[in-house]
Amino acid sequence: MEKESNTYKVRLIENGELKITGKGESAAWGRSEVLTNFISPWDSQEPSKIEFRALWDGIHFFFCFTVFDAQIHIDKTDDTADSINNSDRVELFFRPDETLNPYYCLEIDTQARIMDFIAYPNKKFDFNWNWPKDDIMVKSSKSESSFIVEGAISVDSLNKLNLIKDNKIETGVFRAKYNSKDNTNFEPVWITWINPETETPNFHTASSFGVFDLMD
């Protein structure tokens, strides 16, 4: 599965060099590879621009989404998974291998609310599972033209979940965008780094994952 276009190089930085603020403002981000080739295979309209960056320092894996979109939908009913699931968000899925048995999902909205769960084949989700809270930090910010979701995940937690093998992490990178013509009924557009080649939108399939290569 490790085609060149399906591999993202996560460059190494010094420990303590990057601080998560939710604004993606650390100078260290300037040394990261910028992933921009996001598509919506099931929608005719080209999605708004997304820039994804990742770095690591041996202790933490850092990520930053910059989404150039001013029309953001947030379900503010409460802070449950249902509200996050009905909001514009970015997503990272991690798997130990292509069996997807299990894999781990992080879905984060523009207010840095996290919907995290463990998943199994055929879209069997366990929302009682959470990423250990001391092993993940997420912050976000919004401007007139974009929003940023920035986070850090401990390498220790990734190792404990058997997600790092030969300095590689099999990862899906996604976005859910909600549109409405009448500001009443919102419908999602599904945006992905890797085209899973499915007839209908589906991130929960082995073909939607690429590889993050942790560089020395």
The pLDDT of residue 183 is: 67
Q: Residue 209: CA atoms inside 13 Å, Cβ hemisphere, count?
A: 25
CB neighbourhood size of 195 (10 A): 14
d(CA 119, CA 177): 22
The pLDDT of residue 2 is: 47
Per-residue pLDDT of the chain (216 residues; tens, 9 = 90+): 445 579 999 999 999 999 999 999 999 999 999 999 999 999 988 899 999 999 999 999 999 999 999 888 888 888 778 889 888 999 999 999 999 999 999 999 999 999 999 999 999 999 999 999 999 999 999 999 999 999 999 999 999 999 999 999 999 999 999 987 676 778 889 999 999 999 999 999 999 999 999 999
CB-based contact 91:108 (threshold 8 Å): yes
Amino acid at 200: T
| Bond from prior residue into 47 cis (ω within 30 degrees of 0) | no
Residue with tokens 């295979």: 41
Amino acid at 45: Q
Structure token pair of residue 214: 């942790």
Domain ranges of the chain: 4-214
Residues 49-94 have pLDDT tens digits of 999 999 999 999 999 999 999 888 888 888 778 889 888 999 999 9
pTM of the full predicted structure? 0.94
Backbone angles phi, psi at 195, to 5 degrees: -75, 115
Backbone angles phi, psi at 78, to 5 degrees: -165, -165
Q: Domain 4-214 maps to which CATH number in 1.10.357.10, 1.20.1250.20, 1.10.260.40, 2.60.40.1190?
A: 2.60.40.1190
